[in-house]
Amino acid sequence: MRGSAHLALGALLAAAPGGAQEWRLGAQVGRISYNGALATSADDPAVVLGLARAGSSDWLGVSAGLPLGRQEFWAAGGAGQRLSLARKLGIHLDLSAHAFAQHAPDSLLEQPNATLLRDTPAPDVWFVRGAGAQAALVLAADAGARRREARAGGAARASAIAGARTSELLPAADARLLVDLGAVQAGPEAQQWREAVTYAGATARAVAGPGALSASLGKWTRGGPTELVWSVAGAVDLGGGVRLEAGFRSAGYDPLYRSETAGSAVLGASIRMGRPTAIAAPVPASYANGRAVIRLRTREVTGTPSIAGDFTGWNPLPMTLSGGTWSVTIPLEPGVYAYAFVNERGEWFVPASVPGRRSDGMGGWQAVLVIE
């Protein structure tokens, strides 16, 4: 249910090192096509300009492809959000939406999904316009170094060109397993779109210092092209908010719009807009004689909070009020621990002021406690 990479800039930022939430403005050049429209082509080079933001549980961005030859112009925008319905149980809701406009090439009528357009008189200038949305219920679970995630939901899309319109509501589901191998995360994934479009493949991501690399390999076992599809993308931070990016993608298939996507090769750079989100050092408030004290300011929670983490088996443990601070004292051996707070309504949270706060990868936050 991840669907296509609707923003060319955002697709490469997904491979970037670091995890801070930030806005980035970027430019790329290469054989680039937009893979959400009724037809695509990447025979000639183009320049893509984009502005994107990626947070721990949300993303949004806009981009446009400017042709340098016969390549087709396109512009697109989108946003997504993950909502935690029952974080302790790993139940979430993923929502996303996108819209696009693309100059329509003569090859449009050759696309398998363009049947309704073949009897439509051609105007002087064709533009494909469309929008789509996806919603999926997510079940996620961590077991040691393994993360399992499965989702099921639906996607809707609508397109229009020269007075002809088409729309569709599609069921979709996917599943993936990620194994943490230190600097590398890798694992298989599968997608099912409607009753006749199935994908199976694998993804991998590696991070080393200021650089990151991601790759995928798979095949549409039913529907879509018959050949293997693959992609590789990399990025390196040069400092000062500047990042270099490169990516390659084979010809593939977009199951939402039932269109084949052209292969692409891009090289570009982006610059951070504003300051990144500060991440405090992951250390306890105090640690002595084998006991760690973890504190939470009273103004950051209503009612009596609890704490849950590796050291409690993720079962909430009530905290104690002392002066203007909630606290808990826990006997711990030296090591690295993850934890979060829980309010009286059962909502999990970690304030931005808590040292070591980071995304939990499932739409929420956790804090990291390092005891040396």
Among 86-90, 115-119, 199-203, 310-314, which is the least confidently predicted range? 115-119
Q: Pull the structure tokens for residue 127.
A: 């533009």
Distance CA 207, CA 211 (A): 6
**What pLDDT was estimated at residue 214?**
92
Strands 259-261 and 264-273: unpaired
pLDDT band, residue 258 (cuts 50/70/90): confident
pLDDT band, residue 189 (cuts 50/70/90): very high
**What pLDDT was estimated at residue 70?**
63
Q: 3.40.50.300, 3.40.50.2300, 2.60.40.10, 1.10.230.10: which CATH number matches 286-371? A: 2.60.40.10
DSSP assignment of 122-188: P-SS-EEEEEEEEEEEEEEEEETTEEEEEEEEEEEEEEEETTEEEEEEEEEEEEEEEEE-SSEEEEE
Distance CA 290, CA 306 (A): 21
Q: Report which of residues 199 and 31 the model is more confident about.
A: 199
**What pLDDT was estimated at residue 195?**
76
Distance CA 96, CA 132 (A): 8
Q: Pull the structure tokens for residue 339.
A: 């934890």
pLDDT band, residue 261 (cuts 50/70/90): confident
pLDDT band, residue 218 (cuts 50/70/90): very high
Distance CA 363, CA 361 (A): 6
Largest CA distance in the chain: 82
Residue 150, C-beta contacts closer than 8 angstroms, at least 6 positions apart: 138, 139, 173, 174, 175, 176
Distance CA 113, CA 80 (A): 26
Residue 363 has a CB neighbour count (10 Å cut-off) of: 21
**What pLDDT was estimated at residue 28?**
86
Helical (H) or strand (E) element with 95: strand 91-103
**What pLDDT was estimated at residue 40?**
44
What are the two backbone dihedrals, phi and then psi, of residue 116, each rounded to the nearest 5 degrees? -70, -10
Q: Pull the structure tokens for residue 348.
A: 């999990």
Residues 178-201: what's their mean pLDDT?
86
**What pLDDT was estimated at residue 276?**
52
Among 42-56, 151-165, 209-223, which is the least confidently predicted range? 42-56
User: Quick check: 11 pLDDT over 70?
Assistant: no
Picking from 181, 204, 173, 200, the residue whose alpha carbon sits closest to that of residue 189 is: 200
| Coil/strand/helix, residue 88 | helix
State pLDDT tens for residues 47-57.
Answer: 889 998 876 67
Burial letters 169-207, b for 16+ CB under 10 A, else e = ebebbbbbebeeeeeebebebbbbbeeebbbebebbbbb
Q: Domain coordinates of the chain in residue numbers?
A: 8-175+233-273, 286-371
Strands 306-309 and 317-318: antiparallel
User: Quick check: 192 pLDDT over 60?
Assistant: yes
pLDDT band, residue 363 (cuts 50/70/90): low
User: Quick check: 269 pLDDT over 80?
Assistant: yes
pLDDT band, residue 126 (cuts 50/70/90): low
Distance CA 296, CA 307 (A): 10
Helix and strand tally (H, E) in the chain? 1, 26
**What pLDDT was estimated at residue 6?**
38
Give 12's DSSP letter.
H
Picking from 59, 57, 64, the residue whose alpha carbon sits closest to that of residue 24 is: 59
